[in-house]
Structure 1
Amino acid sequence: MKYIRTPKPKRAKSHIPFRLNLLFFFVFLLLAALVGQLAYLQILNGGKFAAEVNRTDQTTVTGAVPRGLIYDSQGRVLVENKANNAITFTKSVNTTSQSMYDTANRLVRYITVDHDNLQKRDYADYVLADSKAAKAVVKELPKSQQSETDATKLYKYEVAYVQKHLPDFSTKQKEAIALYKIMNGATQLTTVYLKNSGVTTQESAAVGENLTAMSGVNLGTDWERAYPNGDSMTAIIGTVSSTKSGLPSDGLQSYLAQGYARNDRVGISYLEKGYESILKGAKSRTQVELGNNNNIVKQVQTFKGQQGSNLNLTIDSAYQNKVQSIVKSVFNQALSNGAAAHSDGAFAVAMNPQTGAILALAGESHNVKTGKVTEDALGAINRSFAMGSAVKPAMVLGALQDGVITVNNNTQSDDPIYLPSTPVKKSVYPVGTFSSMNATTALEVSSNIYMMRLAMKEGNAKYVPKTSMVMDNNIFTKMRRYFSEFGLGQTTGVDLPGEVKGQTGSTTLNGSLAVGSALDLSYGNYDTYTLMQMAQYVSTVANNGYRMKPYIVKSISQTLPDGSNGATISTTSPQVQLKVPNTQAQIDLVKQGMWEVVHGTNGWTTATMLNTLNPGVAGKTGTAQTFTRSDPTNTNSELLETTTLSFVGFAPAKNPQIAIAVVVPNLSNEDVNYNELIAKQMFADYYSMNDVKKDSSYSAHQTSING
């Protein structure tokens, strides 16, 4: 029997597409990977990542320290730091505008602050710091501005709206705005002063009782510069910026690059500025740890800071006050006499010619438009004048170097110089007073003719009276080179900022060599020099040819913990900038001429007013014919002819301890020798204050400096 097999039923075909199965497969793989990653994070590295979550960041916060002190040469404190109670604010990382707004409004209940100089933007920032007010402002903006997603642009729209709709603010609200402005301007983790002067005991107590309610506010101390021996030397010492003004804008980036904060105080003029790196000290450093929520969790001071080093000056403040007093007194006399209406003022410098140490630096500046007179000691380095005949000793020494005269052969004709279309070029005494003279007499009577004839010889002049003179084209270069050896016409290098070179006149006129101007240069009536240059120059003559670099800081020292002056860190060593190539015999010849300027018996001797000083002094007066505007601020105002009086000298002449330079520029007449009045008193005061002994054999008409 044949069996027939029943066929197997066909399996039903799956209704799930292959692509869906493939998708499920990938989902399975991703799920497996996720489970594996979770296992990696939680099981293998759970502890590591938990520690990362609880990790703290460290940052270093710096704090200001008091500046170094400044002492005079006798150890008197000229500048110190006066401690003041202060209210401070430290801005945390997570400080919000709202919290600063609330703190400012609470703090004004306990203190009063200055609210001058607030700007519209300051008012707007304060209003918008209140979150409720900010939301209300946004609702008032146009729909197109409300939808702005850029927060910075939206805030500008809010500020603009508030500035147009500023409400009236009470005095207390304005004070709160001033406080908020300071807080808002602080960088994170920096401390700023909310009030650092005039904090009363009541204010300190009230703030102290409420510190916990004002985040970031604290009690502290601040300092300000004080002048226990008077402020007569501030014109030399300079000033320091306030925490309100902070870093000066002209050097902002440089200061920031050096680690300064924007509200740090820095020296902004003269010694305070020139020695900023010495006076500023080293800031305190505190290591601050921040938790993961940016709260401060730990603070450790790693360095308490170091007060700035001290400056010890070469100036005796008592002598400085004497010099400033005589300059002021004599200039006031000139004003009373009607001679100084158009004068710039009066200035004086005293220097130790052996070392270059500045002994005094004084000046009175006169605003000819307003008539106001102010102290301006630094006029000696940042103003320049035509000094007149005071430069003649340098002219003679240059001619001796050039070989156009010698120590034993230096007599010249004293006939005036006649050039075409030019007034006769002569000396102050009448034509024909002298037929000829030697170098020492030329200095004694201040012969312009003698100096012009030296220039003519140096320039190989071809001269026939009343015809055009021809000179070598390098005559200006030659004379200026000789002058520069003594420091005239170039910066001296004195350790004060702001020194100028002076001005040099043109060497040509209408395309040709300015021959007449070259002659004027020879007797000091063309180029201009600073008084510091004049003091350096006469010191070079006094010490027999060594051009010393002037300096005002004698040494730098540490501050001891008790605030007293400590050990010396560095001392300024006298620096010779150049030894002029004159022989001793040549220098002695010029010194003899400067002695006769004071002690000569000729009727035209120029500085006999000083021959009563014992020991005797040597010097040279100067009178320059100058011009000034009736209104210096208006270049179209009337041009007035004036006279500038100057003096350079040294004493005691045989063994110089002091060299001085004086200038009283742009006087309307020269009836009184104001330059000599100042110089004589400067020498006399130096003698009495430094116990300079009299010379028992001294005579007012002693013929020789060595007699």
Structure 2
Amino acid sequence: MNFFKKKLKTKNDNSKKQASTPVRMKIILGIIFVLFATLIGQLAYLQIGYGSRFKAEVQKSNSAVVSSQVPRGVMYDTKGRVLVGNRAKNAITYTKSVSTTTEDIYAISNALSRYITINDEKPTEQQVIDYYLANKKNSAKESAKVPKSVRQTQDDELINKRIQQQVSAEHIKLNKRERTAALIYNKISGAYTLSTIYIKNNHLTDKEIASVGEHLSDLPGVGIGTDWQRSYPNGSSIQSIIGSVSTEKAGLPSDNLQYYLTNGYSRNDRVGTSYLEEKYEPLLKGTKATSKVWTKNSGDIEQSKSVYSGQAGSSLVLTLDAQYQKEVQNSLEKIYSAAISSGAAHYSNGAYAVAMNPKTGAILAMAGISRDPKKNKTTNNALGVINQSFVMGSAVKGAMVSGGLINKVISPTNNVMPDTPVYLPSTPVKKSVYPIGTFGALDAETALEVSSNIYMMHLAMKWVKASYVPKKSIHMPQTAFEPIRKNFNMFGLGQKTGIDLPGEISGIQGRSFNEQGLVLPGSVLDLSYGNYDAYTLIQMVQYVSTIANGGYRMQPYVVQSIGRTSNNGKKIYIDYNRKPNVQLRIPWTQAELNIVRQGFWRVVHGTNSWGTAHKLKNVKPAISGKSGTAQTFYYDPDNPNQKDPPELVNATFVGYAPSKNPEIATAVIFPGLDPELEGSYTLQMTKAMVQNYFKLHKK
């Protein structure tokens, strides 16, 4: 009976469990149904309410503004001749899209290399490796060679380094087409997204242009455009003044990279790297053209629209006359060559000449030659006028006499000095070039005419109040150099002139004191006649111009005007004209000025047999000026400890013409000449400069 009850109870419990299972399943299925219904409802709501918005979002294009180069500003001479311009040339370009991959670059490089050849460049080893590994098969092959121990590190940098080493050791050889492809690959890989670069812009043939043009549809991003290159239609002798522009490959100078980047330049932009090109870079570069480019979300370029066509760089009108500049350079080369042939310039390292308008400071011509005496190799170096300094000799005596007059050490009516040599203790006699006793005394005008060193030394001793006993002693105040140097500075000697060219130096100032801190009296005397401190030739022409124009120290300059060139290149619209800048007015009286100017006149036109520039007497219009020679030595750079180096002289001349109403001032130096063969090369050069100038101006 109990057994029957237990069996019945068990049967009833199982029936209850079976009855409860469908209920739970129904609840779960109900929840799932509700969730699905909610999801479907939400999708329907989004589709109906926001479908159009999502569709627009998917199809939406991104936009970006890109810029492109414009022609660089042109430079003209004072008569409107083009000194440096831009020569247009065809180019193959490439614009990198947002979606461009390494595989795309590899494919485009190989495709384009079938139509063009780049011969003026060779791929570097790294460029060959990069191109080789851009091929998936090569990359996989090299990856498989990497030792398991290196791969297990999972260090991508280490693995890549190992792959690079493997390929380098294999010395991959590329054929001609592959070398071009490697160069193209490198150019495109380094390009910024949406930027346009030049794939080939030199020596592009008509056949190459035609071939690329026929296959542009198969070369996404590739185009045919125009590039420009600096040209010098009136000769390259002026290029050392104009300066140079970096190539697209070189791009921005590394030492000024941050400056250019913060001013809107791209890394591969071409910029002026020296002299006028660098000085006026902000004006010459112009304003880049800009376009708005729309790209799809896929990265492909959808369309492009020009926003601003750009503005070509500003034009510069220089003070130089291209024809006169060429004649001055040619004369310098001809005369200097004669000096070399005669043996006079055997150790000379160059020659320089400059002409300036003394009334305005406008540079009329700058010419220079640098020379390696050992190889007898010469190069044009007009900038030596501003960045080379020399001891100039007696040519500075006009400034010394002027200082004596201005500071009332002497006067127009009382300026006679004894012409007795200076004898310092334990020092060779300090005298003039003419024999001792030639003159008993000299006035200032005659002292300039015969270039008396003795006169200048006595003037210096009187000026600084020296105590002098011949052959026994000389004492000067510790400040003895100061008044004389300050006077030279007043004329521009020993300090930068401020010419609008970078790289100007101030010259070299000799030491003033010995090891015990005492002033060097002998050097003060040397300074008085131009045999101590070194000056630049631009300082010398500024100094002589100050005498020529009556006492106005004019700032030299080479850029006269800034403007814009018309689209056809035939007209210049001037926006700015430079005005002459007077840096200082020499505080002398007319009588004091007349003493110096008369002395300069007698240097050329005087009757004394010891006059130093009488060979210019017959030049028309009349020249006034001052010659000079300064003792120097040849120092062999390969033998710095040489004994008894050859004694040489720097030969100089400064002058102006016409003497009564000067229109041109000149300065010439032939450094390092043989003193026995010095000749009259500086006078020949001065004559050529003056006569050529007035011939061109028909005066």
Q: Answer whether TM exceeds 0.5 for this pair.
A: yes
Aligned to 2:414: 409
**Which secondary structure does the structure 2 equivalent of 1:78 belong to?**
strand
Tell me what 1:382 maps to.
387
Q: Which residue pairs with 1:547 in the alignment?
A: 553
1:40: Cα distance to partner?
Answer: 9.1
Aligned residues: 672
- Correspondence for 2:693: 686
Q: Answer whether contact 2:498 2:556 (CA < 8 A) is retained.
A: yes
Q: Which of 295, 309, 334 in structure 1 is aligned with 2:339?
A: 334
- Could you tell me which amino acid in structure 1 is paired with residue 651 of structure 2? L
Q: Name 1:652's counterpart in structure 2.
A: 658
Task: Map Cα deviations across residues 589-630 of structure 1 (whole Å, 9 max, x no partner).
Answer: 10011001011111111110111012321100010001231x
- Does 1:502 pair with 2:507? yes
Say whether residues 1:676 and 2:661 are aligned partners.
Answer: no
State how 1:71-86 maps to structure 2 within 5 Å. Answer: 71-86=76-91
Deviations 1:555-581 (A, max 9, x none): 112111212232101111111111122
Q: Which residue of 2 aligns with 1:702?
A: none
Structure-2 separation of matches of 1:443 and 1:610: 16
State the alpha-carbon separation in 2 of the partners of residues 420 and 36 from structure 1.
116
Deviations 1:651-675 (A, max 9, x none): 1010010000000001123441111
Identify the match of residue 121 of structure 1 among 112, 120, 126: 126
CA distance in 1, matches of 2:92, 2:399: 61
Partner of 1:469, secondary structure, is: strand
The equivalent residue for 2:24 is none
Choose the corresponding residue for 1:144, options 129, 143, 149: 149
Greater mean deviation of Cα atoms: 253-262 or 503-512 = 253-262
Q: Give the letter aligned to residue 553 of structure 1.
A: V
Which range is displaced more, 157-166 or 200-209? 157-166
Rounded Cα–Cα distance in structure 1 between residues aligned with 2:39 and 2:258: 52
Give yes or no for contact 2:91–2:204 (8 Å, CA) kept in 1: yes
Equivalent residue, structure 2, for 1:212: 217
Match of 2:526 among 491, 497, 520: 520
Assess if the C-alpha contact under 8 Å between 1:115 and 1:174 holds in 2.
no
| Greater mean alpha carbon deviation, residues 671-680 or residues 657-666 | 671-680
Contact 1:420 1:468 (8 Å CA) reproduced = yes
Query: What SS is found at the alignment partner of 1:240?
Result: coil
Give runs of aligned pairs for residues 265-414 of structure 1, distance below 5 A.
265-414=270-419
2:579 pairs with 1:573: yes
| Amino acid aligned to 2:139 | A
2:108 aligns to what SS in structure 1?
A: helix
Task: Map 1:4-153 onto structure 2 (within 5 A).
Answer: 48=53, 50-114=55-119, 116-147=121-152, 149=154, 151-153=156-158
Residue 432 of structure 1 is aligned with which of 422, 428, 437? 437
Q: Which residue of 2 aligns with 1:253?
A: 258
Q: 1:296 to 1:440 in 2, by over 3 A?
A: same
Give the distance between the partners of 2:39 and 2:524, measured in 1 at CA: 95
Contact 1:139 1:146 in 2 (8 A): no
Tell me the amino acid that sits aligned with residue 673 of structure 2.
Answer: L
CA distance in 2, matches of 1:586, 1:202: 75
CA contact (8 A) 1:114 1:178 kept: no
Q: For the residues of structure 2 that align with 1:598 and 1:363, how far apart are their CA atoms? A: 25
CA deviation vs aligned residue, 1:637-687 (integer Å, no higher than 9, x gap): 453321000000111010010000000001123441111110111111122
- SS of structure 1 residue aligned to 2:92: strand
Question: Kindly tell me: are residues 309 and 527 of structure 1, through their superposed partners in 2, closer, same or farther at Cα, counting changes over 3 Å?
Answer: same
> What residue in structure 2 maps to residue 483 of structure 1?
488
- The Cα of 1:162 is off from its aligned counterpart by 1.5
**Paired residue for 2:603?**
597
Preserved CA contact (<8 Å) 1:115 1:175? no
- In the aligned structure 2, how far is the partner of 1:71 from the partner of 1:363? 21
| Aligned 1:454-465 pairs, distance under 5 A | 454-465=459-470
Secondary structure at the aligned position of 2:474 is classed as coil
Secondary structure at the aligned position of 1:278 is classed as helix
> Equivalent residue of 1:423, what SS?
coil
Gaps of 5+ in 2: 1-15, 21-31
Match of 1:530 in 2: 536
- Give 3-state SS (helix, strand or coil) of 2:456's partner: helix
Contact 2:146-2:159 within 8 A present in 1 as well = no
- Work out whether residues 346 and 364 of structure 1, in 8 Å CA contact, stay in contact via their aligned partners in 2: yes
Query: Partner letter of residue 402 of structure 1?
Result: N
Return the alpha-carbon distance in structure 1 between the equivalents of residues 52 and 113 of structure 2.
49
CA 1:371–1:588: 2 relative to 1, 3 Å: same
Q: Which runs of 5+ in 1 are unaligned?
A: 1-11, 16-26, 693-707
Secondary structure at the aligned position of 1:242 is classed as coil
Counterpart contact for 2:480–2:519, Cα < 8 Å: no
Post-superposition CA distance 1:218-267 (Å, at most 9, x none) = 11111111222222322222222222322233322222222222222222
- Partners of 1:37 and 1:621 lie apart in 2 by 101
One-letter code aligned to 1:359: L
Counterpart in the other structure of 2:10: none
Cα distance in 2 between the residues matched to 1:284 and 1:126: 33
Q: What is the identity, as a one-letter code, of the residue corresponding to 1:480?
A: R
TM-score with structure 1 setting the length: 0.90
Paired letter, 2:567: P
Answer yes or no: is the 8 Å Cα contact 1:595–1:653 preserved in 2. yes
Q: CA deviation at 1:441?
A: 0.6
Does the 8 Å contact 2:604/2:616 carry over to 1?
yes
CA contact (8 A) 1:285 1:304 kept: yes
Which residue among 596, 606, 611 is the counterpart of 2:612?
Answer: 606
**In structure 2, the residue corresponding to 1:591 is in which secondary structure?**
helix
* Counterpart in the other structure of 1:695: none
1:623–1:644: 8 Å Cα contact kept in structure 2? yes
CA distance in 2 between counterparts of 1:347 and 1:363 reads 4
Q: 1:272 corresponds to which letter in structure 2? A: E
Q: CA 1:421 to 1:103, structure 2 compared with 1: closer, same or farther past 3 Å?
A: same
Point out the more displaced range, 51-60 or 362-371.
51-60
Aligned-residue offset at 1:168 = 1.9
The CA distance in 1 between the partners of 2:233 and 2:135, in whole Å, is: 47
Distance 1:418 1:29 in 2: 123
SS at match of 1:492: coil
**Distance (whole Å) between structure 2 residues aligned to residue 322 and residue 115 of structure 1:** 35
Give CA deviations for 1:182-213 in whole Å, capped at 9, x if unaligned.
Answer: 11111111111111021111111111111121
Greater CA drift, 80-89 or 236-245: 236-245
User: Per the alignment, do residues 201 and 300 of structure 1 end up closer, same or farther by CA in structure 2, a change over 3 Å counting?
Assistant: same
Q: Deviations over 1:391-427 (max 9, x none)?
A: 0000111111222111111111111111111111111
Question: What code does the residue aligned with 2:686 have?
Answer: A
- Which aligned pairs between 1:151-300 and structure 2 lie closer than 5 A? 151-300=156-305
- Provide the C-alpha distance between the structure 1 equivalents of 2:588 and 2:149, rounded to a whole number of angstroms: 85
After TM superposition, give the deviation of residue 30 of structure 1 in Å: 12
**Cα-to-partner distance string for 1:349-384 (whole Å, 9 max, x where unaligned):** 000000000001011111113210111111101101
Q: Partner of 1:509: helix, strand, or coil?
A: coil
Following superposition, the deviation at residue 39 of structure 1 comes to 9.2
Q: Give the residue type in structure 1 aligned to 2:137.
A: K
**Alignment deviations for residues 325-355 of structure 1 (CA, whole Å, 9 cap, x no partner):** 1111110011001111211211100000000
Task: Using the aligned pairs only, state the percent identity.
Answer: 49
For 1:548, give the aligned amino acid: M
Q: 1:194 to 1:572 in 2, by over 3 A?
A: same
Distance 1:36 1:520, change over 3 A: farther
> What residue identity is the alignment partner of 2:683?
E
Q: Does the aligned pair in 2 maintain the 1:488–1:533 contact within 8 Å?
A: yes
**Pair 1:413–1:155, CA change in 2 (3 A):** same
Please state whether the residue corresponding to 2:303 is helix, strand or coil: strand
Q: Secondary structure at the match of 1:568?
A: strand
2:681 maps to amino acid: Y
Paired residue for 2:12? Answer: none
State the AA in 1 paired with 2:664: I
Instruction: Say which is worse superposed, 654-663 or 135-144, in terms of deviation.
Output: 135-144
RMSD of aligned Cα (Å): 2.6
